[in-house]
Amino acid sequence: MIYLDALTADDAEQVRIWRNQNPEGARTPYLLNWEMQADWYEREVCNRDSKHRYWAVRQSVTEEERRGIEINRPTSGMRFTEEDVRRQRVWLNNEDWFVGISGLTNIEWENSRAEIALMVDPSRRGKGIGREALRETLKWGFERMGLRWIHGLCYHCNGSLSFWRKVADEWAYYTEERPNQKLWDGAVHDAFYFDIEAWEA
């Protein structure tokens, strides 16, 4: 099961690592260091007056899966891998998998609209996590926050373009192609824009 949860500082640091692997998909394509990410976490995630809302996307771990997780202890002088650390957190702290971040950004309360933000762990893409996380985020925005419209923009140079086109075909009220939206790797790229209207769940 995929669900939204409070985003922790540890989660935010993992997001920074994922983001730096895919800067062409970001609105601001520069690399982030941990100090910049910590500042963002304090300024935006921990600030209840921020015009942005972010959540951790978690995937439930069944008891059978939890029993099957082995703690990989590195040999002397070797470092834990990212996956080793994740498995330890799940097993030792009885946590679920942290598989992504979702958010509603640039919230315009007076216009009842916001922009979607979503990033899934690169090692877990293509397994339906993004679609379920998006559904949960839309439900949160429409049902709990009272928003009327949620929109998104995906650059053509972003590897997630086909995902966004697919979900827009299913849920979007309006779509359009916007020319010359992003300079990346010496070329100017178009973008795919979509608008999703509130529905009754």
Between 123 and 134, where is the model more confident?
Answer: 134
7 within some domain: yes
Report helix, strand or coil for 77.
coil
Q: What are the tens digits of pLDDT across the range 32-78?
A: 999 999 999 999 999 999 999 999 999 988 777 766 665 555 555 56
117 within some domain: yes
Structure tokens belonging to residue 198:
């509130």
8 within some domain: yes
pLDDT of residue 34: 94
Structure tokens belonging to residue 171:
């849920």
pLDDT of residue 25: 87
Q: Would the pLDDT of 117 be above 60?
A: yes
Q: Which of 68, 62, 54 is nearest to 16 (CA)?
A: 54
Can you tell me the distance from the alpha carbon of 109 to that of 163, in angstroms, rounded to the nearest whole number? 28
The answer to pTM > 0.75 is yes
164 within some domain: yes
89 within some domain: no
Collect all residues with Cβ–Cβ distance below 8 Å to 22 and sequence separation of at least 6: 122, 158, 159
Domains in the chain: how many in total? Answer: 1
73 within some domain: no
Q: Mean of the pLDDT values across residues 20-40? A: 91
pLDDT of residue 61: 81
Between 195 and 93, where is the model more confident?
Answer: 195
Q: Would the pLDDT of 112 be above 90?
A: yes
Q: What are the tens digits of pLDDT across the range 139-173?
A: 999 999 999 999 999 999 999 999 999 999 999 99
Mean pLDDT, all residues of the chain: 89
Q: Read off the CATH number of the domain in which 35 is found.
A: 3.40.630.30
Provide the pLDDT confidence category of residue 201 given band limits of 50, 70 and 90. very low
Full residue range of the structural domain in which residue 11 is found:
2-60+96-197
Structure tokens belonging to residue 80:
């834990």
pLDDT of residue 28: 82
Q: How long is the chain?
A: 201
78 within some domain: no
